[in-house]
Amino acid sequence: MHIPDAFVPLWQSAIYWIIALIFIALALRWAKNELSEDKIPLIAVLAAGIFAIQAFNLPVAMGTSGHLVGGALAAIVLGSPYAAVFILTLVLIIQGIIFGDGGLTTMGVNILNMGVIGGFVGYYGYSALKSAGASMYLSAGIAAWCACFISSLAAAVEMAFAGTFPLVPGLIAMGTYHAAIGIIEGIITAAIIYFLVASRPDLLAEGATDPSGGGAAA
């Protein structure tokens, strides 16, 4: 759901950039306070891996394709929604500047949708589901689906403000396609967490690896 430059008027892009910059500042503060050097391998691999898998568009029927976004994944394994803002911002900067995927003026709104909304929905969705007794993989899968779906509805509303898509058809189409794309998000997120737990459980946020519940908070 990388929004290109042409889809948002410049003054609205500026507003989204300001909101994004506030969350980037909070994410940098989180990184400074909470991130230890032990996490370097995990973040380097997540940044490279999320970039690679975002290039892999899988067919989801309805003449549409989709790929993992990775905000929920980053937030769950690092135990904070700001981890998603941090990693997705890095990914979106490189995608926008080097590969022209997602605009430069619209990088702010893309960071807002995929990093901020994706990260917060993914993290708090995961925590809530786990507290309610769901298994960690099911919680991660459903939270990742919600992150994809809700981000897409946010994008539809932004497109309506921009005058690019009409509101209701935009919500229906974005919601329909991302309900399908979210299945990819859910399955791959759960699968990657499974492999991380199998290979390096110590790198994950405390509580993220506790299958008996208790939330993702460290």
Site residues (CB under 8 A) for other proteins, limited to 86-145:
86-87, 90-91, 94-101, 103-105
Give the other-Cβ count within 10 Å of 39's Cβ.
18
Question: 62, 138, 210, 217: which one contacts other proteins (CB under 8 A)?
Answer: 62
Query: Residue 118: what are its φ and ψ, rounded to 5°?
Result: -60, -45
Tokens encoding 10: 């410049």
Tokens encoding 32: 């400074």
Segment 147 to 186, residues that bind other proteins, using CB under 8 A: 152, 155-156, 159, 162-166, 169-170, 172-174, 176-178, 181
Tokens encoding 17: 């950039």
In Å, how far are 26, 75, 153, 194 from 56, measured between CA atoms?
30, 21, 22, 20
Segment 189 to 218, residues that bind other proteins, using CB under 8 A: 199-203
9 near other proteins (CB under 8 A): yes
Q: Which residues lie across from 59 on neighbouring strands?
A: 65
Q: How far is the CB of 130 from other proteins (least distance, A)?
A: 21
Question: 40, 194, 211, 217: which one contacts other proteins (CB under 8 A)?
Answer: 40
- Amino acid identity at 102: G
Q: How far is the CB of 70 from other proteins (least distance, A)?
A: 11
Question: 26, 51, 161, 191: which one contacts other proteins (CB under 8 A)?
Answer: 51
> What is the Cα gyration radius of the chain?
16
Q: Which of 75-90 are b and which e, b meaning 16 or more Cβ less than 10 Å from the residue's Cβ?
A: bbbbbbbbbbbbbbbb
Total residues interacting with other proteins, rule: CB under 8 A: 81
26 near other proteins (CB under 8 A): no
Question: 39, 144, 190, 215: which one contacts other proteins (CB under 8 A)?
Answer: 39
66 near other proteins (CB under 8 A): yes
Question: 24, 35, 73, 111: which one contacts other proteins (CB under 8 A)?
Answer: 35
Q: Are the C-beta atoms of 91 and 70 separated by less than 8 Å?
A: yes
Q: How far is the CB of 162 from other proteins (least distance, A)?
A: 8
